[in-house]
Amino acid sequence: LVGERHDGDRHLATGAGVADRVTVLARLVAVLEAEAGRALAVADSHSLLPHAPVTHLQRHAGWTGRAASALVTASRFAARHPDLAQLWQTGRVSTEVVAAIARGLRGVTAEVESKFLAAVVTQLPVLSLAGVKLLVAQTLDHLHPDDREAQEQTDWDRRCLTSTRHAGMTMIHADLPTL
């Protein structure tokens, strides 16, 4: 038995029962998010919402800006890629994974998006969010090997560190490249 139980929790009496319940509920949440994303994509494409999609989710559904933004990004991307939408709708990938791919591939052509997904769609269910982000970054590095070096050089050129002393205080202003 797991801890104390309340009368309404008799079906949660074993550790396995609790674990199974958590798994089922988590999968349902993922499936419901995907379905909300599917409906949101339709509403967004036909301008059926009283506000922008993120604002609508925040005001009327109580979502955080981050969660709403992820759902909107994921829904728009999945609408263009049925295989990925299927994984999302069956709970095999999360909203965060779909949004990470969409954000990572922002700015590439539809052809590159399709080729990327065709190559990785079968592996997505077993990858972590960090693994998906790394895979997208490595793909972009392979497609545009000079872009990362150019960005690092731009960041290095923009670096700046100044300090000013006044009345026993020191004010420091810095623009430094990300580590």
CA distances 5 to 2, 11, 13, 85, Å, are 8, 10, 7, 39
pLDDT per residue, tens digit, the chain (179 aa), is 445 555 555 555 577 788 888 888 988 898 999 999 999 999 999 999 998 999 999 999 999 999 999 999 999 999 999 999 999 999 999 999 999 999 999 988 999 999 999 999 999 999 999 999 999 988 888 887 666 666 666 666 667 777 778 788 887 877 777 65
Task: Name every residue whose Cβ is closer than 8 Å to that of residue 83 and which is 6 or more positions away in sequence.
Answer: 117, 118, 121
pLDDT at 132: 95
The pLDDT of residue 125 is: 95
**Helical residues (DSSP H) of the chain, grouped into ranges:** 15-45, 53-61, 65-80, 82-89, 95-104, 110-120, 129-143, 145-158
Total residues belonging to the chain:
179
Dist. CA 175–CA 162, nearest whole Å: 9
Residue 92 per-residue DSSP state: S
DSSP class of 121: T
Amino acid (one-letter) located at 85: A
Of the candidates 122, 135, 59, the residue with the CA atom closest to the CA atom of residue 92: 122
| Residue 116, token pair as written in the block | 């990327």
Structure tokens at 123: 């592996």
In the chain, what is the straight-line distance between the N-terminal and C-terminal CA atoms, in Å?
Answer: 48
State pTM to two decimals. Answer: 0.72
Tell me if residue 17 falls in helix, strand or coil: helix
pLDDT at 69: 94
